[in-house]
Amino acid sequence: MGLRNHVPIPVLDATQFQIQCHSFHFLFSLQVATSELKRTLKPQLSHRSCFKVFSTSSSSWFVEQVHLFDCCPPELRMARMARGRADGSPRKRLVTIMLVFVTIGGLIYLYSQNSSESSAVNKSLKQFSWKGDGVNDESSSGTSVVPKTIPVCDDRLSELIPCLDRNLIYQTRLKLDLNLMEHYERHCPMPERRYNCLIPPPPGYKIPIKWPKSRDQVWKANIPHTHLATEKSDQNWMVVKGEKIVFPGGGTHFHHGADKYIASIANMLNFPDNNINNRGRLRNVFDVGCGVASFGGYLLSSDVIAMSLAPNDVHENQIQFALERGIPAYLGVLGTKRLPYPSRSFELAHCSRCRIDWLQRDGILLLELDRLLRPGGYFAYSSPEAYAQDEEDKRIWKEMSALVERMCWKIAAKKNQTVIWVKPLTNDCYLRREPDTRPPLCKSNDDPDAVWGVNMEACITRYSDQMHKARGSGLAPWPARLTTPPPRLADFNYSADFFNKDMEVWQQRVNDYWTMLGNKIKPDTIRNVMDMKAKLGSFAAALKDKDVWVMNVVPENGPNTLKIIYDRGLLGTVHNWCEAFSTYPRTYDLLHASTIFSDIIEKECSPEDLLIEMDRILRPKGFIIVHDKRSVVLAIKKFLPALHWEKVAISGEDDDAILIIQKKIWLTSESIRVSE
């Protein structure tokens, strides 16, 4: 589809307009104007200074001098560096001053116009009623006000992740310990600081390449960042070829391809046929410091699924590349909080040159991996410490070996640059340790599955009595694991019959969804799917014959059924939908929202914010399935024009209504201009 077929969307500024250092809200014309103002102000102004421009009302402005040289953007720095040049005649200075004030006056007028329109949108969002008679039928308008449009964010916000926004950290001056990676953990904006606007796609955006071709190539325009291709050119992470970015399958440790590296790990562990899935016994993998997730991408052909994890760090787009490729991935970091996964979720953890200090804080990060690994689980570690002979690497290896020995891990295999440790099957080794051995066992009242906002602990999580007696997790091999009631079902007092009926219900619902989608959906239409309220994971299980993967999201305040989902050989995370999700914009093809809006309303959070967040997550031409009360479904339907969504189908009544939506593809006027 050519660019001229896209509908251009005008860009409106945010309601709380603020131009400041480190802010995406900078307007270049105002930067120049401010620097010119500074040239003409009193000569005693500090040479090491820049300005903040604030709006105190729709027509009142003031300029504040800020003594922070490093906070200024490059344009202001260059303007300051050029101050030593001759200023010219007084007449030229007068003309310059007049032009500056005319420019600022014009900007004030434009802002006041946009601000009033944006304010009306926000006011209508707040006034709209999600309860009562206003949404009980399609024809009733009641007293509710629905916005005709929702502002579009500045193009420079096209990759915004609200709860992982460094700009927010700078602005709010959060006191974070960089050594503990706190700056890479979630820090969400307060409601008054949220962007009530739609995230635009980058210039030249194209519908992503379909799976499985996407594993090896993506459109450069969709993620216009090529620094990793240069920085990792000797490691075959990625290569720029014309309009595409190609992924040869290399990594920092496996330059010659992830497939050969995976086979070598299977060979080290003596798995049959050098197949990493070990006849279905190894299904769930955790890849920490995953890069662009080629390791996880190449595991999929062996019926092994990996949760690829990396922070939004100096390689900030690595997870964006992974998701664009159609590979399961999540933005996160081993910092101070537990990772959002339950205990005993993975058979294998993997770290290849992941640059993590495993010895810090009494081994707390390695103990977090221990919490996540199942009985008999493996940790494959490829790093210089495992083989290098210089004194520092020898010291690290010696201390790390002593730590894992006290944790009851043993070396399963060691070859060349890789060592693989294995966990014990029972609690016996833990109970035989000498008193006061560190790290200690966790307290008996510690819940190893409580993860949302919970701090890590430098302690060993012992196995449950059931796992100890069974000498393992007791899970069936894959693919039978998907449909076999897992032992931890008893933790919720759920019976096998309840489990089987849940599968039947969701298989029928998925069949109904696909019937409603009709010819809108083809076998390769969707790849990345999110179930926003996953329960037991039966929605994902019903998609087993489709070439998709599902991020199963379990609400933080409900039954923590995520461990059942992992025990079925699926992936997922815990989340609070009152906040933004930890992913890049445009990363999912299908969002399934079953009763999530009713939950949000019950928690007195903003369903409007959730709609805007879902738009951020969803790819253009992607789908949303809303399954909720009829009143909620009809309320959402009224927002479709403002969100540039269109109805595909609607059905049901009372407490069981379904609305299927498709997101339109659009570009801003500025995006079209840049593309052309």
Could you report the per-residue pLDDT of 101-127, keeping only the tens digit for each? 666 766 555 544 444 444 444 544 544
pLDDT tens track for 481-540: 999 999 999 999 999 999 999 999 999 999 999 999 999 999 999 999 999 999 999 999
Residue 306 lies in a domain: yes
Residue 619 lies in a domain: yes
Question: Could you say which of 171, 193, 215 is where a domain stops?
Answer: 193
For residue 588 the two structure tokens come to 């999912």
442 and 505 part of one domain? no
Average pLDDT over residues 240-252: 86
pLDDT tens track for 269-324: 999 999 999 999 999 999 998 889 999 999 999 999 999 999 987 666 899 999 99
Average pLDDT over residues 136-147: 55
430 and 498 part of one domain? no
- For 407-531, where are the alpha helices, taking DSSP H only? 428-432, 465-470, 496-517
Residue 36 lies in a domain: no
311 and 428 part of one domain? yes
44, with CB counted inside 10 A (0-12, 13-18, 19+), is exposed
Average pLDDT over residues 445-461: 96
Question: Could you say which of 422, 443, 474 is where a domain stops?
Answer: 474
Question: Could you say which of 474, 509, 525 is where a domain stops?
Answer: 474
604 and 460 part of one domain? no
For residue 127 the two structure tokens come to 């006034």
Residue 226 lies in a domain: no
413 and 500 part of one domain? no
* Structural domain total, the chain: 3
Average pLDDT over residues 126-145: 50
Residue 355: which of 403, 310, 318, 320 has the closest Cα? Answer: 310
- If one counts every other C-beta atom within 10 angstroms of the C-beta of residue 670, the result is 18
Sheet holding 18-19, edge to edge: 18-19, 50-55, 61-66
Residue 45 lies in a domain: no
CA 375 to CA 355: how far, in whole Å?
26
449 and 337 part of one domain? yes
408 and 542 part of one domain? no
Helix, strand, coil percent values for the chain (each to nearest 5): 40, 20, 45
310 and 455 part of one domain? yes
513 and 446 part of one domain? no
pLDDT tens track for 253-277: 676 788 999 999 999 999 999 999 9
464 and 508 part of one domain? no
> Which long-range contacts (C-beta less than 8 Å, at least 24 apart) are formed by 188-193?
188/162, 188/163, 188/579, 188/580, 189/162, 189/163, 189/165, 191/606, 191/609, 192/16, 193/16, 193/168
Transcribe 253-313 into DSSP letters: S-TT-HHHHHHHHHHHTT-GGG-TTTTTT--EEEEES-TT-HHHHHHGGGT-EEEEEE-SS
For residue 458 the two structure tokens come to 């430098």
Domain carrying residue 638:
488-663
Residue 125 lies in a domain: no
Handedness of CA 378, 384, 389, 390 (dihedral sign): negative
Residue 20 lies in a domain: no
423 and 535 part of one domain? no
User: CATH number for the domain including 659?
Assistant: 3.40.50.150
Residue 84 lies in a domain: no
pLDDT at 107: 59
628 and 525 part of one domain? yes
